[in-house]
A and B are shown apart, each in its own frame.
Chain A
Amino acid sequence: MHEEVSSLRSEFISRALATQNHDELEALRIEFLGRNGRFTALLKSLKDIEPDKRRQMGELLNQTKKILEETLATQEKETTQKEEKKFDDTIPGIQPPIGHLHLVTQAIDEISRVFMDIGFVRRRYPEIETDFYAFEGLNMPSTHAARDEWETFFVEPNFLLTPHTSNGQVREMERGALPIRMINISKTYRRQSDISHVPMFHQFEGLVVDQNIHITHLKGTLDYFAKNFFGESRKTRLRPYNFRFTEPSFEIDITCGVCNGTGKLPSGNSCKLCKAGWLELGGAGMVHPNVLKAGKIDPTKYSGFAFGWGVERTYMMKSGIQIPDIRMLYSTDLRFLRQF
């Protein structure tokens, strides 16, 4: 039996050293040390040996087993090292298909989340509208220039494509639930097409109506938005302006992201997108008492503020996204869509 043990040991060691990988090594382990392994069979036969030789034989088998296990462990370690050396972690991966959300969707999502943070509720109001909600109820008399067919699209029989999201103001007030903190994001339409205008675009309209609403609240809300949407490095300013549906009215400007507020491009040409480094974000103001009245709200008890800004313009003013022509946003070219 001694010879049998030593020949088994020799065979095991020489075969172990010849293995090339873990699988071969594992097969070898099973052949010798598995439940029905050749070495295991010797161990099992120990009980059949005469008692006086059993002890000596037992010691030999234990020693041998230790040697086999050590050989296995050493070889295991070497195989791992060999395999690690061979493994190429620089080979490119196989990606799942990557799709893209449109920039306008990304903008709307970001914008609405900023306002929802401070208690605004998202709404959606009609794109095809009556004169009352788009103009008359917003304190725009029938002679106002915006009502000329030169800027607004009209639809049979007597409707129009809303040129601004402000059509949602009186509709929101008519719901009769106060206070109001709404953000209405929708498609809007104007009869124009050039580098900074598309006939269809998107606006977001904020409306707050409550008791004791001040200009300071409008400033605070828009500051919060600018800080969170654009980042702290972009500067904003409030300028006096004139809108029929707010009094007082403001224009909010932000430093241009294309020319970094300088008005000049690196080429030396002047920036086509902005005016001397400032971009108009959009209008804002305190809700005109006539608009509150149109929405059946008592202007002596309630006041409010509103703002309506272009989604595309606002997003383009954000750092990093420098699209020279706003019409490109409505391209369906995958080479464009896949960039964002």
Chain B
Amino acid sequence: MDVLLTDSLLREFLDTKANPQKLAECLSLCGPSIEKITKEGPETVYHIEVTTNRVDAASAYGIAKEAVAILPQFGLTAKLVKPALSPSASKKELDIAITIDPKLCERFTAVKLTDIEVSDSPQFIKNRLTAMGQRPLNNVIDITNYAMFALGIPMHAFDYDKLGKTIIVREAKKHEKFVTLDDKSHTAEGGEVVFDNGAGEIIDLPGVMGTKNSMVTSATKSILLVLEHIDHHKVRSASLKHEERTNAAILNEKNPDPNEIDSALQFALFLFEKYAKGHVASKVFNWYPKPRTEHTIRVNKDEIDTMLGVSLSKKDISNILESLQFKTKWNEAAITVVVPTSRVQDVTIPEDIIEEIARIYGYFRLPSVIPEGFVNEARNKQFDFEMKIKRLLAGWGGNEVYTLSLVSKAMAGEKAMKLKNPLGGDGEYMRTELTASLVEATKVNKHESLPFHLFEISNVYIPQNKKLPVEETHLAGIFVNTDYRHAKGVIEALFEVLNIKKIEPKLMRLGKNFVYEYRVEDLLSAHAEHTKYRAIPLFPPQIEDFTLLTNDTKIGEVISVIKSTHEHISAVQFIGNFENKASFRVTYQDPNKTLTDSEVSKIRAEILKNLQSTLDVVEA
């Protein structure tokens, strides 16, 4: 969560000589990360990233608490300054009946203030709010926001005279309508926590944003100040559903400590009395059936040492924890730690305690050690195999691409898995083949007039009934502006280098382009890692060229007929074709002797006979 905080507001609660840069550096290393410092008018602003588990630190006071633990580790003194609180209270009971569903709300506090003078806020409040991204409106609304930035507890001021004599905390029903402060009309999906004025009318979307029908205006004379703790899951979902990502919602959805409501309320009352001339006109209504309590965690010293890899003294450990307002007690080699309620959500197991010790001590102070030992098992060959394929194809001019696995229905192939929440129609399915993606990939390259080859190795996803899909790694590619023989030659060369004999190098024609797609697993199991040694022939071969009238006969068939004619035909090479003729070079070889001319001419006659009888091909 990104938090903006002015240096001036922070220093209301933090007494230190450290300058903003030093403060940012120290805090970033040991606590909330300060990503940058900017100037906004007269204010210096910290941009702080507070992790979602540390909502207790998402305020000026929370950052001050971190700073008083962290700065002394860098030799800087720092003291926490408690917020000014107003203990004022009236003896009169609040004259609004409040009914709360305990499943929806953990704590509810409310107090009435009268004689409010709505006006502009003092300049320093306006400056600070503006710098923290909050537009100043009037002193009443500004005070609630200012107190929230100061102490991290959101609150809401209602125009008392717009309320009835009842507030019911309940879940919204589907289709109920309400208008929020920002003039947006909403229709409830059902289940959002709302305040009902007893007449069935929604008067607040608590924890997220107030509604228009109960809002403070320049005419307001009395207010009802409410600080409540709504179930944080409910807050998050209402805020997301209604697209109201307010500061209040962002804090409340992270479950701030309801015990902090007391000081937040008294700090707000102090501000209302000072800057809005308000008078407290009721007792504080305080409904809090199950107050949160501290808990204790026991940690052994050797657990701490093992996790850190270095040994800290007992005294250093308890000093660090106490600087964070944890109470500690050593008992032999174990420390008992009492976790304050503001941290009980986040600190629950010994590892959490160790983390607090380690971060405040400083990760940067720990040494670097490479773990010893190796895993004694055979490597998975597929990774190297894929890399080899890629290097070979790139070596022959191929360009590797990575295309998205999320594709449109048209590109996904048969029975592809469908996304429930795609970003758009062109990424709605998990592809079952790569070819379509590669065809798509050529489209941005229309300007290319020279031959090119794109290829990819990626998974495709083959659905299985009710089980996880099979993720198959495929190799696919496309040749553009390339003649068939050059395209096929690349795949033939690949198979030759990889020693793949059981699979045919095959390309499919797609318009003017040629594509191929293989399962890498098939290639891997068909390839032989090493070639067998074959003796170099002791006797010279005889080589002879044929020119044949092939007409429409497929060259591959001619080659295989020639080859299968005799065991002493060791190679048949296609030389080229012209009109209806094609030339071949045939190598005759007997491993045991030099073939005589008459032996060769016998084989030759057999070849011609075979070609004529099976393919009707004769010599030109």
| Selected contact of B430 from candidates A128, A212, A213, A286, CB within 8 Å | A128
Knowing A121-B377, A216-B308 are in contact, say whether A156-B400 is a contact too (CB < 8 A).
no
Give per-residue flags for B69-94: 1 if the beta carbon is below 8 A from chain A beta carbons, else 0.
00000000000000000000000000
Kindly report which residue of chain B lies nearest to residue A117, judged by CB atoms: B370
Q: Decide: A155 and B430 in contact? CB cutoff 8 A.
A: yes
In the bound assembly, the distance between CA atoms of A191 and B444 in angstroms comes to 25
> Contacts of B30 on A, CB cut-off 8 Å?
240
A46 at the interface (CB under 8 A from B): no
In the bound assembly, the distance between CA atoms of A223 and B445 in angstroms comes to 41
Q: Decide: A332 and B367 in contact? CB cutoff 8 A.
A: no
A73 at the interface (CB under 8 A from B): no
> Contacts of A104 on B, CB cut-off 8 Å?
402
A189 at the interface (CB under 8 A from B): yes
In the bound assembly, the distance between CA atoms of A236 and B477 in angstroms comes to 40
Q: Decide: A216 and B29 in contact? CB cutoff 8 A.
A: no
Stretch in A11-19, A51-59, A93-101, A314-322 touching the partner = A93-101
Q: Decide: B308 and A215 in contact? CB cutoff 8 A.
A: yes
Distance in angstroms from B302 CB to nearest chain A CB is 11
> Contacts of A153 on B, CB cut-off 8 Å?
406, 419-422
Distance in angstroms from A117 CB to nearest chain B CB is 10
| Selected contact of A332 from candidates B358, B394, B441, CB within 8 Å | B441
Distance in angstroms from A136 CB to nearest chain B CB is 15
Stretch in A28-36, A81-89, A246-254 touching the partner = A246-254
Stretch in B31-39, B129-137, B269-277, B594-602 touching the partner = B31-39
Distance in angstroms from B548 CB to nearest chain A CB is 32
B124 at the interface (CB under 8 A from A): no
In the bound assembly, the distance between CA atoms of A337 and B402 in angstroms comes to 10
Q: Decide: B421 and A191 in contact? CB cutoff 8 A.
A: yes
Q: Decide: B419 and A127 in contact? CB cutoff 8 A.
A: no
Q: Decide: A199 and B427 in contact? CB cutoff 8 A.
A: yes
> Contacts of A288 on B, CB cut-off 8 Å?
351
| Most chain B beta-carbon neighbours within 10 Å: one of A148, A303, A337 | A337
In the bound assembly, the distance between CA atoms of A193 and B421 in angstroms comes to 14
In the bound assembly, the distance between CA atoms of A68 and B371 in angstroms comes to 78
Q: Decide: A199 and B420 in contact? CB cutoff 8 A.
A: no
Q: Decide: A213 and B371 in contact? CB cutoff 8 A.
A: yes
B404 at the interface (CB under 8 A from A): yes
Distance in angstroms from A110 CB to nearest chain B CB is 12
> Contacts of A99 on B, CB cut-off 8 Å?
393-400, 453
Knowing A100-B400, A153-B421, A251-B33 are in contact, say whether A242-B233 is a contact too (CB < 8 A).
no
Q: Decide: B373 and A179 in contact? CB cutoff 8 A.
A: yes
Q: Decide: B379 and A121 in contact? CB cutoff 8 A.
A: yes
Q: Decide: A249 and B355 in contact? CB cutoff 8 A.
A: yes
In the bound assembly, the distance between CA atoms of A143 and B255 in angstroms comes to 12
A77 at the interface (CB under 8 A from B): no
In the bound assembly, the distance between CA atoms of A119 and B398 in angstroms comes to 33
| Most chain A beta-carbon neighbours within 10 Å: one of B30, B308, B419, B458 | B419
Query: Which label, helix, strand, loop or mixed, suits the secondary structure of the B interface?
Result: mixed
B51 at the interface (CB under 8 A from A): yes
In the bound assembly, the distance between CA atoms of A310 and B406 in angstroms comes to 19
B387 at the interface (CB under 8 A from A): yes
Q: Decide: A250 and B399 in contact? CB cutoff 8 A.
A: no
A5 at the interface (CB under 8 A from B): no
In the bound assembly, the distance between CA atoms of A121 and B423 in angstroms comes to 35
In the bound assembly, the distance between CA atoms of A114 and B95 in angstroms comes to 71
Q: Decide: B368 and A223 in contact? CB cutoff 8 A.
A: yes
Q: Decide: B468 and A129 in contact? CB cutoff 8 A.
A: yes
Knowing A112-B383, A119-B374 are in contact, say whether A219-B363 is a contact too (CB < 8 A).
yes
Knowing A121-B377, A217-B369, A239-B29 are in contact, say whether A200-B404 is a contact too (CB < 8 A).
yes
Give per-residue flags for B439-460: 1 if the beta carbon is below 8 A from chain A beta carbons, else 0.
0111011001000111000110
In the bound assembly, the distance between CA atoms of A191 and B440 in angstroms comes to 22
In the bound assembly, the distance between CA atoms of A124 and B395 in angstroms comes to 26
Q: Decide: B400 and A217 in contact? CB cutoff 8 A.
A: no
Knowing A180-B375, A217-B371 are in contact, say whether A329-B402 is a contact too (CB < 8 A).
yes
Knowing A217-B371, A240-B359, A332-B441 are in contact, say whether A105-B400 is a contact too (CB < 8 A).
yes
In the bound assembly, the distance between CA atoms of A50 and B459 in angstroms comes to 93
Q: Decide: A237 and B397 in contact? CB cutoff 8 A.
A: no
> Contacts of B37 on A, CB cut-off 8 Å?
276
Distance in angstroms from A121 CB to nearest chain B CB is 5
> Contacts of A122 on B, CB cut-off 8 Å?
379-380, 383
> Contacts of B393 on A, CB cut-off 8 Å?
99
Distance in angstroms from A325 CB to nearest chain B CB is 15
How many A residues touch the partner, as a band?
35 or more
Q: Decide: B468 and A128 in contact? CB cutoff 8 A.
A: yes
Instruction: Tell me the residues in window 223-258 of chain A with beta carbons closer than 8 Å to chain B beta carbons.
Output: 223-224, 237-242, 247-251
> Contacts of A224 on B, CB cut-off 8 Å?
368, 370
Q: Decide: A150 and B420 in contact? CB cutoff 8 A.
A: no
A66 at the interface (CB under 8 A from B): no
In the bound assembly, the distance between CA atoms of A275 and B419 in angstroms comes to 33
A282 at the interface (CB under 8 A from B): no
| Most chain B beta-carbon neighbours within 10 Å: one of A98, A189, A216 | A216
Kindly report which residue of chain B lies nearest to residue A181, judged by CB atoms: B375
B516 at the interface (CB under 8 A from A): no
> Contacts of A180 on B, CB cut-off 8 Å?
375
A118 at the interface (CB under 8 A from B): yes
Q: Decide: B390 and A123 in contact? CB cutoff 8 A.
A: no
In the bound assembly, the distance between CA atoms of A98 and B452 in angstroms comes to 10
In the bound assembly, the distance between CA atoms of A247 and B354 in angstroms comes to 9
Q: Decide: A130 and B468 in contact? CB cutoff 8 A.
A: yes
In the bound assembly, the distance between CA atoms of A117 and B377 in angstroms comes to 15
Knowing A154-B420, A181-B375, A219-B368 are in contact, say whether A101-B400 is a contact too (CB < 8 A).
yes
Kindly report which residue of chain A lies nearest to residue B461, judged by CB atoms: A128
Q: Decide: B33 and A303 in contact? CB cutoff 8 A.
A: no
Q: Decide: B369 and A219 in contact? CB cutoff 8 A.
A: yes
Q: Decide: B363 and A238 in contact? CB cutoff 8 A.
A: yes
Kindly report which residue of chain A lies nearest to residue B370, judged by CB atoms: A220
In the bound assembly, the distance between CA atoms of A193 and B406 in angstroms comes to 13
Q: Decide: B390 and A101 in contact? CB cutoff 8 A.
A: yes
Q: Decide: A128 and B417 in contact? CB cutoff 8 A.
A: yes
In the bound assembly, the distance between CA atoms of A118 and B372 in angstroms comes to 9
In the bound assembly, the distance between CA atoms of A177 and B374 in angstroms comes to 12
Distance in angstroms from A132 CB to nearest chain B CB is 11
Q: Decide: A247 and B351 in contact? CB cutoff 8 A.
A: yes
> Contacts of B377 on A, CB cut-off 8 Å?
121, 177
A149 at the interface (CB under 8 A from B): yes
> Contacts of A23 on B, CB cut-off 8 Å?
none
Q: Decide: A332 and B471 in contact? CB cutoff 8 A.
A: no
Distance in angstroms from B7 CB to nearest chain A CB is 16
Kindly report which residue of chain B lies nearest to residue A180, judged by CB atoms: B375
In the bound assembly, the distance between CA atoms of A105 and B354 in angstroms comes to 39
Knowing A213-B371, A275-B35, A333-B445 are in contact, say whether A242-B358 is a contact too (CB < 8 A).
no
> Contacts of B399 on A, CB cut-off 8 Å?
99-100, 334, 337-338
B352 at the interface (CB under 8 A from A): yes
| Most chain A beta-carbon neighbours within 10 Å: one of B368, B394, B406, B454 | B368
Distance in angstroms from B26 CB to nearest chain A CB is 12
In the bound assembly, the distance between CA atoms of A175 and B368 in angstroms comes to 29
A4 at the interface (CB under 8 A from B): no
B364 at the interface (CB under 8 A from A): yes
A-B contact pairs, 13 of them (CB 8 A): A97-B397, A99-B396, A119-B371, A129-B468, A145-B52, A156-B417, A191-B423, A199-B406, A200-B404, A247-B349, A247-B352, A330-B403, A332-B442
Q: Interface on A for B, CB 8 Å cutoff?
A: 96-102, 104-105, 109, 112, 118-119, 121-124, 126-130, 143, 145, 148-150, 153-157, 159, 161, 177, 179-181, 187, 189, 191, 193, 199-200, 208, 210, 212-217, 219-221, 223-224, 237-242, 247-251, 263, 275-276, 278, 286, 288-289, 303, 329-334, 337-338
**6 closest A-B pairs (Cβ-Cβ)?**
A97-B397, A214-B309, A216-B309, A248-B355, A99-B394, A332-B441
Apart from A102-B402, A155-B420, A238-B363, what are 16 other A-B pairs with CB-CB below 8 Å? A101-B391, A109-B387, A122-B380, A122-B383, A127-B405, A159-B469, A200-B404, A215-B363, A216-B366, A220-B371, A248-B351, A330-B402, A330-B403, A330-B404, A332-B445, A333-B445
